[in-house]
Structure 1
């Protein structure tokens, strides 16, 4: 029986894991190598300690209503999109509210996690830690690894001939970037057009002599601001949209998406993406189109090679006098403390059952939390993983036998291992994945049942944002404030903007009421469809 649980890392996923352990009556001990909580969101100017943090100017890409812990909303006066300082403040509030810090051992590095000799019968692990030069050995019934996937910078120098042997300028990875001051007046080449590459290109354009952004990907750019000024994810991440995408042919869905992307600006004219592209990524950036339009950022194809001071691109063009090459090429994950038999089997999250459990273990007492790429909040996704995992440890949630889990994993794994540079392709639907884990944990809400008992809430759940509060309506860990949080989320999104209040349209509330009445038949049909033809993986027993 699981009682003592080691939690490795005190970032957002680690804190959620500690709380979930406590809710299930388990005894967590969290090991954090630094001196404070927050993980990635605790910004520091220094790069010497090797710890990965956000850069100074970062703003969250997911809104507060879609990124919160499911029973702990952000303060209503916080803006919808948050700087790192407010995310960290929120994490501190969460830790205080649920008294989590007494379970965290700071400045304690985990050196190794190995199976005990009796693992086949006990499932226990030996965890060796080091604090102030003193090593300790501990025995735990289970381990939750919450170190995330932003760990080791991925720097593909071999893919760029001449960068090491000829180029005389400065080169660095985005992990080393903090602010623009060191780049003032310089000609900078940014390699990679993910969210980080886009953000840094825009920021550098304010002080650099010239910024070139090199990409080999088809990339669609979206704004955080959606219809009527509401946050993009609150408008787009709905069960109605998810069902529609599932019902429609994939070719039609893709065409609708491309038309929507191009409604802001024609991406082909900007050299970013073509509607004929089958592989593409989506980034969030309000300023990049204007920077391209004004010439402060110049888009370039993939780099073919470097000379002493120039970059030669695959289209044959050359840009001279490059001072700095900034690689925004992402990260590799690593778990150096895990024993080789476990570590070697984890190539990416598809090597794990439901992206959490290593399926080859005889006892499911090791879980990887937060190794996911979602089209939505990783904080919310990690918390759901932690709720499911601690339910498994406590005996409430059941897993299939290892053979079935392994078979499921083998079905998902591709025949060829992907390059980490292409991990955008590993992104999963937020609703699809979190619903799947929620079903396993017995906390997925039923729209059809709510239509009979609470139609107003059912409509808000189906047509409104799929916010984390939905997963606190039923099952273990249900929260009495979930319904009110769902029905008031639009008001909380607007609250920080009410610094100059104007008269509202008198008919706006009535318009919403009529919309709900008209939508009721559609919601009923959708509920029947979902109950009669459930989506793959939605069953608690799916596996």
Structure 2
């Protein structure tokens, strides 16, 4: 069948909804290929959830949040993070980094701040998207403006819509129940008794914030056994630095042999790592009261440098899931125990992307009526709760692939910022016409295969992250479309590029295969006029990142311990 060159004849004006990290990098990579971009952002600046806000309906991380990925792998491909940033930057530093990024590439002139999109329509006759926008806070339609675009990118974020459980007897509770999205000021809970529901990274940050601000009692209610790993081990080893390109290829190989085997091996390694870092946790209630581990494919370890210490040293208590609200200030757990004098129930139960909320129903990727057979493979709750977006390769609309893309629904074996840098490089190449999309029928089959694989996983246990694109074929496709030429240069001894790099720059080759998987890989190799632009500084940035990673323990570990563990070393013994 013929390739799909449907971008031919379309204009170059692109509207982007959202100026978080995904929207900003999309604007930069599309503008780099000659597109005329306009970005609409509700907030007063860039950064998305990394920008602090007191708005309880807008998602933002807590001030005590640090990135789980390092500044070397989590940076943009042609813009290293500042030298004075720590290995895991803070929320405030990430927000400032994207301000610097937007300034460096002159993105801010394309952004309309404090503007919300109130409607999106599509005119099939003109093949144009029409966006109606108005100033945030205004209800006067006379302030509305309309804009027409040839393409549309929805980048409203991966964490937008709260998942809010309802408990039996909840109506009688006289304390406060709030979702983590609305948890903005931990100081308000000094002297309070708080139950934190859930055990993910948001829960870990919330527990740490509550304890540091003087909450009287903190109970963590979680259904499964805790799996907690630190960013940095007690020996000063940054765990992320152990994930090399060579190891990543081995994981991909195991997946090809057996996805179940690969998941089991990875889950066991997480368990070994937790035992090595926190041996006292083995006998703690969080891990030893009969609660089961999640299914191997569903294990998402909590990355925290102090949560285990809080459990071990008694600053935080562990309890199973809530069975009911048993009184005005009482909560009963599934093991029959009860907590009394509870002031607050904090729901760290997750947020999900709802990228289709502004879209006409015929373009909504969560709409099961657009593909009833495909969505029908999933349990009804996944479609009813809009937990699964049906897209080609996790970001391209199947209803309008050359004019509509959604960013934020998929994850892969790359840090999120690096992944969406790569995705938007690929999107720019597809839309500018440098790389053809497959025929429509092939894209539909690919989306159906994804839904079928997801349905099989769900039978083994609940899948919280429904947009995982974990196969090597996905990463290879993205790199091929973007034109990075990584896979022709590394570990591919059938390629002249690989032999040439190994022969002419063996030091670089060794660093790229056995060192950290730097974001700057994506901009290293020139693709001879096709693909994203190479960055002349990429080689130096790769070498410098690896030098800094190699010397991090001797130069920074002692300071890091003081800043992150704050005297709580017992949990790391």
Question: Is contact 1:224–1:284 with CA below 8 Å preserved after alignment?
Answer: yes
Q: Name the structure 1 match of 2:495.
A: none
1:294 aligned residue: 313
- Unpaired runs of at least 5, structure 2: 1-9, 255-260, 368-385, 493-497, 560-573
**Equivalent of 2:162 in 153, 158, 165:** 153
- Mean Cα displacement is larger for which, 447-456 or 169-178? 447-456
2:392 is paired with a residue of what secondary structure?
Answer: coil
Q: Is the contact between residue 218 and residue 281 of structure 1 (CA under 8 Å) also seen in structure 2?
A: no
Q: 542, 545, 570: which one pairs with 1:489?
A: 545
In structure 1, the partner of 2:283 is 269
Are 2:429 and 2:481, in contact at CA under 8 Å, matched by a contact in 1?
no
Could you say which residue in structure 2 is the equivalent of 1:172? Answer: 178
TM normalised by structure 2 equals: 0.80
- Correspondence for 2:153 among 133, 144, 154: 144
2:17 to 1, 5, 8: 8
Distance 1:128 1:391 in 2: 28
Alpha-carbon distance, 1:230 to partner: 4.5
- Indicate conservation of the 8 Å contact 1:15/1:100, yes or no: yes
Alpha-carbon distance between aligned partners in 2 of 1:469 and 1:143, rounded to the nearest angstrom: 28
Equivalent pair of 1:360/1:402 in contact (CA under 8 Å) = no
Shift of 1:465: 1.2
Whether 2:420 is the aligned partner of 1:382: answer yes
TM-score under structure 1 length normalisation? 0.84
Q: Structure 2: how far apart are the matches of 1:357 and 1:438?
A: 16
Q: Distance in 2 between matches of 1:253 and 1:96?
A: 40
Distance 1:252 1:33 in 2: 43
> Equivalences for 1:92-241 in 2 at 5 Å?
92-118=99-125, 122=127, 124-131=128-135, 133=140, 134-157=143-166, 160-163=167-170, 165-206=171-212, 207-226=214-233, 229-236=236-243, 238-241=244-247
Q: 2:347 aligns with which of 327, 333, 343?
A: 327
Distance 2:184 2:473 in 1: 35
Distance in 2, matches of 1:430 and 1:54, equals 30
Residues 171-229 of structure 1 deviation map (CA, whole Å, 9 limit, x = unaligned): 11111112321111111100000101112123323412211101113431111114852
Shift of 1:6: 0.4
- Tell me, yes or no, if structure 1 residue 255 matches structure 2 residue 268: yes
In 1, Cα distance between equivalents of 2:350 and 2:557: 41
CA 1:264–1:412 in structure 2 vs 1: closer, same or farther (change >3 Å)? same
What is the aligned counterpart of 2:55 among 31, 36, 47? 47
Q: Indicate which of 416, 440, 443 corresponds to 1:402.
A: 440
1:81 to 2:88 alignment? yes
Residue 300 of structure 1 deviates from its aligned partner by 0.8
What stretches of structure 1 of length at least 5 have no aligned partner?
Answer: 503-543
Answering whether residue 524 of structure 2 is matched by residue 473 of structure 1, we say yes
**How many Å apart are 1:258 and its aligned residue?**
2.8
Does the Cα contact within 8 Å between 2:394 and 2:469 map onto a contact in 1? no
1:407-450 C-alpha deviation (Å, 9 max, x unpaired): 11111113489799852465555987544422232214121313
The DSSP-based 3-state class of the residue aligned with 2:224 is coil
2:446 is the counterpart of 1:438: no
The Cα of 1:42 is off from its aligned counterpart by 1.1
Does the C-alpha gap of structure 1 residues 101 and 463 become closer, same or farther in structure 2, counting only changes over 3 Å? same
CA distance in 2, matches of 1:375, 1:283: 17
1:405 Cα deviation from its structure 2 partner: 0.9
Residues 394 and 467, structure 2, Cα contact 8 Å, conserved in 1: no
Give the aligned length. Answer: 492
Q: Does structure 2 conserve the Cα–Cα contact (< 8 Å) formed by 1:129 and 1:137?
A: yes
Stretch moving more, 242-251 or 280-289 = 242-251
CA distance in 1, matches of 2:112, 2:295: 49
Q: CA RMSD in A?
A: 2.8
Q: Which residue of 2 aligns with 1:242?
A: 248
SS in structure 2 opposite 1:64? coil
> Are residues 221 and 332 of structure 1, via their aligned partners in 2, closer, same or farther at CA, if it must alter by over 3 Å?
same
Counterpart Cα distance in 2 of 1:487 and 1:369: 31
Q: Report Cα offsets for 1:271-300 as digits up to 9, x if no partner.
A: 445679534221101111111111111111
Q: Aligned-pair distance for 1:365?
A: 1.0
My pick for the range that moved more, 109-118 or 477-486, is 109-118
1:497–1:434 Cα change, 3 Å? farther
